[in-house]
Homo-oligomer: A and B are copies of this chain.
Amino acid sequence: MSIVALTKVPRPSKEQRIDTIVESARKVFCACGFEKGSIVDIAADAGIAEGTIYRYFDGKRGLLDEVLRRHYAAIFDDIQQTLPAIEGYGNRLRYLIRRVLLAISSDRGMCGLITRDLRQFDTTQPSLAQSLNHQIGILMADEIKAGIKRGDFRSDVSPGIVCDMIGGGLELIAWSYMTNGKAIDVDKVTNAISRTVLSGIESNNATTASLASLVTRLEQTADRLDSA
């Protein structure tokens, strides 16, 4: 009896308990993935019984959702603080691409977890990672639409398709990072994607400039013919 009394520890607050569970879940899911990461492992890591998890979370999926929610919250905070300070549609697009690449390369475990989760659709509602990733896609599309309206980008561009190409490309890069393990050169990849996309959708100034110089030469020739 006295031993029990001596070793007895006051129960943590509801908030603390949730934090502990989510942190253990993050560790286990990042290490083993969602399917292979078991509730038993998470409970063991958190030092509690499996049943306790179900008091606080609506099953395994709900637990994953909370892990993802917390991960994305930091990224969105960052974006919300940085994006308005950047000038130019192309530059903001470039920042968004870079920010995602940074998130991918800075947390390999989370990258793997999200990369796998993005392709689930058995559940009735879409996975949180999907809708949160989609949010970022919307931010990109907004820049492209605004850029089209102001004439910075070609008007025959389809913002949705371009966003799919950027988002899909980033996903494939994340996936290949997970499988081959080679570190991502964030700046190099940001440049490669931005260059490809922008040269594709930006009204092409280089071409226009060289055409303009040709027109000048034509005009000068015409002048010579006139004066002759």
Contact = CB atoms under 8 A, between A and B. Distances in A.
Contact of A208 (B116, B192, B211): B211
A179 B121 contact: yes
Contact of A179 (B36, B126, B176, B198): B126
A85 interface: no
A118 B119 contact: yes
B224 A221 contact: no
Contacts of A156: 195
A30 interface: no
List the number of copies, as a whole number.
2
A96 interface: no
Size category of the binding interface on chain A: 35 or more
Contacts of A207: 204, 207-208
Interface stretch (A18-26, A50-58, A67-75, A166-174): A166-174
A219 B165 CA distance: 42
A179 B118 CA distance: 12
A82 interface: no
Is the contact region of chain A dominated by helix, strand, or loop, or is it mixed? helix
Interface in A148-193: 154, 156-158, 161-162, 164-173, 175-176, 178-179, 189, 192-193
Interface in A193-228: 193, 195-201, 204, 206-208, 210-212, 214-215, 217-219, 221-222, 224-226, 228
A164 B15 CA distance: 42
Nearest to A116: B119
Nearest to A114: B119
A156 B192 CA distance: 9
Contact of A36 (B122, B154, B189, B211): B122
Q: Which of A162, A166, A170, A215 lies at the interface centre, i.e. has the most chain B CB atoms within 10 A of its CB?
A: A215
A76 to B, nearest CB: 20
A40 to B, nearest CB: 18
Contact of A161 (B175, B179, B189): B189
A38 interface: no
Given A167-B168, A198-B200, A222-B224, 9 more contacts: A126-B179, A168-B170, A196-B200, A197-B200, A207-B208, A212-B214, A221-B222, A222-B225, A226-B228
